[in-house]
């Protein structure tokens, strides 16, 4: 349960022990400061042996979100000691944390006066190839993100033995990178009644929000079974913040539930607890699926490549579930399928994890699966300017912030559709916006955003700004004060009247008028690929003649036809839970 972390400005501290004498090295000044790492400090203890070799490295302090950077925390110190080199490869999927650890160790060595060049030697990465293996399970799942592990757990609960293949060295996929917002409506709840929400309204908004391109039957399943999926997760032990319903960016209505654990870690802690406590469900990491095995028109297994390049053949007695996610991190595929945006080349970053490269799409095409709506690619207007990630996003919900451009003017309905907000942002100077909030959500500065970051830490890292007055904030972010004040004054009037504003915004919270004021820069970023493989109501994959491919199922972002031309914020987690469960049930039944 780890994820690739966003690049942040880190003050890297190194605690070094040499000859029994501790030396505290603070890399907040000079060459030790780096734009690598996660939130806060990485503190390491480095012990040198009498011959000057590195004897031990211990992580003394790590302010990353628990469960997210485990791959690097576990592997990098061990690799440095084993190889006596700082040139070890950072763990895939946690590369920025790995680099931060390496920098902290380097800083410690420098402060101790060690010969750092001694540890700048290339590492032999060749490994002996393991033997080829043949494995068998009732159900084989490709992908250990949210959809994949949902399908795996559900299939196992339905009596199937399960093998999960994951090409990355960790589970999590994009789900663990998410803010955790999950749209689901319990029609019987007082909250839904108070919010004037219903399953039917969720259905209508999802269809309309996707320009009526979504397949109605699939959309109805999504919204009608979302609350059951939340209840299922609770039964498995996952906790949600009670009584907190909010509108996530592009969600159009306050129906998003927030997990108690930060970002997407709660899902995977829950799945891991189930896997650890049950026999018959196994996860193989660093195992890349390459092809589906067909016999007499039925999918019966998966060909994969193991960590050392060995062949892994996984046979499925009942079915294979494709849950490999989308292709937002494949510039090649998004450029090939793009029909909406002027350019989706390498200059446009992505929120996605590094494994979101469309591998499943390619495997499905090989067996004649029907691919639909591949040109519908969603961008968000709230990516980190350096990495494109969603970290550093200071909002808690739509009702507590506005967007202004570099001229200090509002330019869009901040409670509207994601595609419309992004299109409007592309028309602004440098495709750049400032998210503006006040102290209502940050009374102490230690409150955490949806990505487990405090506003104080973001300000210290230069990723957010604080002004004791609005004029001071305007000066810090270099926008005209008069324009910023006018934007807030007009917005605040609508907060009082609750009347739609000139941009069509209808979601208003309390006025943004309580000092201090906060701002964070954001840019467009590729977020979700709505197109994918065509499935039916049982999550069975359809071929180009719209007939089921026996033994093949799919769930999550690899599928198409559910969200249409534009996905509502908060619907992705509902999608992977609902259809992940259906795929697991169907595969276990051997349909």
What is the CB neighbour count within 10 angstroms for residue 43? 18
Q: Which residues pair with 302 in a beta bridge?
A: 292, 314
The one catalytic residue among 418, 505, 567, 581: 418
Distance CA 233, CA 379 (A): 29
Token pair belonging to 514:
């309580």
431 exposure class (CB count in 10 Å sphere: 0-12, 13-18, 19+):
middle
Pair 467, 542: CB distance under 8 Å: no
The DSSP annotation for 149-161 comes to HHHHHHHHHTT--
Distance CA 331, CA 207 (A): 28
3-state secondary structure of 527: strand
Q: Which residues pair with 314 in a beta bridge?
A: 135, 302
Q: Comparing C-alpha atoms, which of 346, 391, 289 is closest to residue 526?
A: 346
The DSSP annotation for 429-445 comes to GGG-EEEEE-TTS-SSS
Q: Comparing C-alpha atoms, which of 190, 571, 134 is closest to residue 378?
A: 571
Pairing of strands 517-529, 377-383: antiparallel
3-state secondary structure of 273: helix
Distance CA 454, CA 400 (A): 16
Distance CA 398, CA 491 (A): 13
418 labelled catalytic: yes
3-state secondary structure of 283: strand
Token pair belonging to 181:
């917002």
Beta-strand ranges (E) seen in 228-269 are 240-246, 256-259
Token pair belonging to 577:
């839970």
Pair 119, 85: CB distance under 8 Å: yes
CA dihedral 181, 185, 186, 187 (to 10 degrees): 160
3-state secondary structure of 496: helix
- Tokens 């012990």, residue? 47
What is the CB neighbour count within 10 angstroms for residue 388? 23
Examine residue 410 and say whether the peptide bond preceding it is cis (omega within 30 degrees of 0).
no
Let me know how long the chain is.
591
3-state secondary structure of 19: coil
Which residue numbers are catalytic? 418
């Amino acid at each position: 349960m780890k994820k690739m972390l966003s690049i942040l400005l880190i003050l890297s501290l190194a605690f070094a022990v040499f000859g029994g004498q501790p030396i505290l090295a603070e890399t907040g000044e000079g060459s030790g400061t780096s734009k690598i790492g996660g939130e806060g400090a990485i503190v390491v203890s480095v012990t040198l042996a009498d011959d000057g070799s590195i004897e031990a490295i211990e992580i003394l302090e790590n302010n990353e979100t628990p469960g997210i950077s485990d791959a690097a925390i576990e592997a990098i110190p061990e690799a440095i000691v084993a190889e006596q080199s700082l040139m070890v490869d950072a763990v895939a999927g946690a590369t920025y944390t790995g680099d931060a650890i390496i920098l902290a160790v380097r800083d410690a060595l420098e402060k101790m006066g060690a010969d750092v060049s001694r540890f700048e030697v290339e590492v032999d990465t060749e490994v002996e190839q393991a033997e080829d293996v043949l494995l068998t399970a009732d159900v084989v799942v490709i992908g250990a993100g949210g959809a994949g592990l949902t399908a795996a757990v559900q299939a196992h609960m339905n009596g199937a033995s399960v093998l999960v293949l994951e090409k990355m060295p960790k589970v999590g996929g994009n789900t663990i990178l998410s803010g955790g917002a999950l749209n689901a409506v319990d029609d019987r709840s007082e909250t839904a009644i108070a919010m004037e929400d219903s399953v039917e309204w969720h259905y209508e908004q999802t269809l309309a929000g996707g320009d009526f391109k979504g397949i109605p039957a699939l959309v109805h399943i999504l919204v009608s079974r979302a609350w059951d999926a939340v209840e299922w997760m609770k039964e498995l032990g996952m906790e949600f913040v009670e009584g907190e319903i909010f509108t996530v960016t592009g969600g159009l209505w306050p129906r998003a539930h927030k997990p108690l654990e930060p970002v997407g870690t709660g899902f995977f802690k829950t799945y891991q607890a189930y896997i650890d406590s049950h026999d018959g469900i196994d996860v193989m990491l660093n195992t890349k699926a390459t092809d589906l095995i067909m016999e007499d028109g039925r999918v019966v297994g998966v060909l994969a490549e193991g960590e050392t390049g060995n062949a892994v053949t996984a046979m499925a007695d009942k079915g294979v579930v494709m849950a490999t996610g989308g292709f937002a991190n494949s510039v090649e595929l998004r450029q090939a399928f793009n029909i909406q945006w002027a350019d989706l080349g390498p200059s446009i970053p992505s929120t996605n994890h590094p494994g979101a490269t469309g591998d499943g799409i390619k495997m499905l095409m090989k067996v004649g699966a029907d691919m639909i709506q591949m040109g519908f690619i969603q961008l968000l207007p709230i990516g980190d300017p350096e990495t494109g990630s969603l970290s550093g996003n200071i909002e808690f919900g739509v009702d507590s912030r506005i967007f202004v451009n570099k001229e200090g003017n509002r330019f869009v309905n901040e409670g509207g559709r994601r595609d419309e907000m992004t299109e409007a942002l592309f028309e602004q100077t440098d495709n750049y916006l400032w998210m503006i909030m006040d102290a209502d959500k940050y009374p102490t500065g230690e409150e955490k955003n949806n990505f487990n970051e405090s506003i104080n830490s973001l300000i210290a890292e230069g990723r957010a700004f604080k002004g004791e007055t609005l004029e001071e904030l305007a000066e810090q972010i270099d926008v005209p004060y008069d324009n910023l004040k006018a934007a807030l004054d007009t917005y605040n009037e609508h907060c009082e009247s609750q009347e739609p504003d000139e941009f069509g915004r209808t979601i208003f919270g309390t006025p943004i008028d309580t000092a201090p004021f906060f701002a964070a820069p954001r840019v467009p970023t590729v977020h979700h690929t709505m197109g994918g493989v065509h499935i039916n109501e049982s999550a069975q994959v359809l071929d180009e003649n719209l007939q089921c491919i026996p033994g093949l199922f799919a769930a999550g972002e690899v599928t198409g036809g559910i969200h249409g031309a534009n996905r509502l914020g908060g619907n992705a987690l509902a999608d992977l839970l609902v259809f992940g469960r259906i795929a697991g049930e169907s595969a276990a039944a051997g349909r």
